[in-house]
Structure 1
Amino acid sequence: MLDALELKPFVPSRDFDLSCRFYRDLGFEERLVGDELAEFSLGAQAFLLQDFYRKDWAQNCVRHLLVSDARAWWRHIKQLELFDRYPGTRGTPPEDKPWHICQFSLVDPCGVLWHIAHPTR
């Protein structure tokens, strides 16, 4: 029988140390895997941040994170003043989408786009 034990996407970084600080401040737990690779986890969910940058890849890299309360996440980000503290970061406030999720967008320091959402039904 075929199964999968884990799936971890790779996420690029232009400034590895800056991106590591950003994701730690956001609330992820960091585990260094090597000089150019770190695993970031939140509960059972994880991704691998790498010290590798290609503009075309970073600006077309999109991640979707399903959470229990997207509006609470947005308040957390605003309280931390992440957009003021990390150059290049930005976001759009949560809104209800027709496909039954409440979602906001977050762009990390490298240009990676995150859609952070919770189901609305």
Structure 2
Amino acid sequence: MSTLPAGTEFMRPFLPAKDFELSKKFYEALGFEKLLDASVAIFRMGRGEFLLQPYYQKDWAENFMMQLMVDDLDLWWRHIQSLDLARRFGVGAPKAPALQPWGLRVAYVTDPAGVLWHVAQRRPDADHD
């Protein structure tokens, strides 16, 4: 039997920011709630959180991926399209939802540092989504 406390643990990855102020605005535009704005910024969406740090290493940032699981990908896609992210933040154009070989419908968004976000539709019949 484990002696570790249980029930309060959760993970918060550290994401890179090439331009810290621009990245904070990007995540706020997407709809993340900013909980802290100091030497790092903490963002929340639903039960998930991450720390945005003013640290950037190109190879690392462009190989970093996050997944945002959503109940209604079509609604999210309309929201993402309405933001005009490429023009406003100088990022690549988001990629429209498509069914992936592993069974999830996914849209792709890249942040100003090059972090790739998989915005994925939960499947109602899958425990692990």
TM above 0.5, one fold? yes
Q: Aligned partner of 1:6: which letter?
A: F
Note if contact 1:28-1:40 (Cα within 8 Å) is conserved in structure 2.
yes
Partner residue of 1:31?
35
Note if contact 2:94-2:107 (Cα within 8 Å) is conserved in structure 1.
yes
Q: Is residue 56 from structure 1 mapped to residue 59 from structure 2 by the alignment?
A: yes
Q: Is residue 113 from structure 1 mapped to residue 116 from structure 2 by the alignment?
A: yes
Identify unmatched segments of 5+ residues in structure 1. none
Pairing of 1:4-83 with structure 2 (within 5 A): 5-32=9-36, 34=38, 36-83=39-86
Identify unmatched segments of 5+ residues in structure 2. none
* Greater shift in the superposed pair: 87-96 or 18-27: 87-96
Note if contact 1:100-1:119 (Cα within 8 Å) is conserved in structure 2.
no
Count residues with an aligned counterpart. 120
Larger strand percent: 1
Note if contact 2:85-2:91 (Cα within 8 Å) is conserved in structure 1.
no
Instruction: State the alpha-carbon separation in 2 of the partners of residues 19 and 33 from structure 1.
Output: 12
Q: Aligned partner of 2:19: which letter?
A: D
Instruction: State the alpha-carbon separation in 2 of the partners of residues 119 and 99 from structure 1.
Output: 13
* Greater shift in the superposed pair: 48-57 or 80-89: 80-89
- Deviation digits for residues 74-100 of structure 1, max 9, x if unmatched? 110111212221112432100112322
Rg comparison, structure with higher value: 2
Partner residue of 1:85?
88
- Cα RMSD of the aligned pairs, angstroms, is 1.5
TM-score (structure 2 length as normaliser): 0.85
Q: Aligned partner of 1:108: which letter?
A: D
Q: Is residue 98 from structure 1 mapped to residue 98 from structure 2 by the alignment?
A: no
Note if contact 1:14-1:53 (Cα within 8 Å) is conserved in structure 2.
yes
SS at match of 1:100: coil
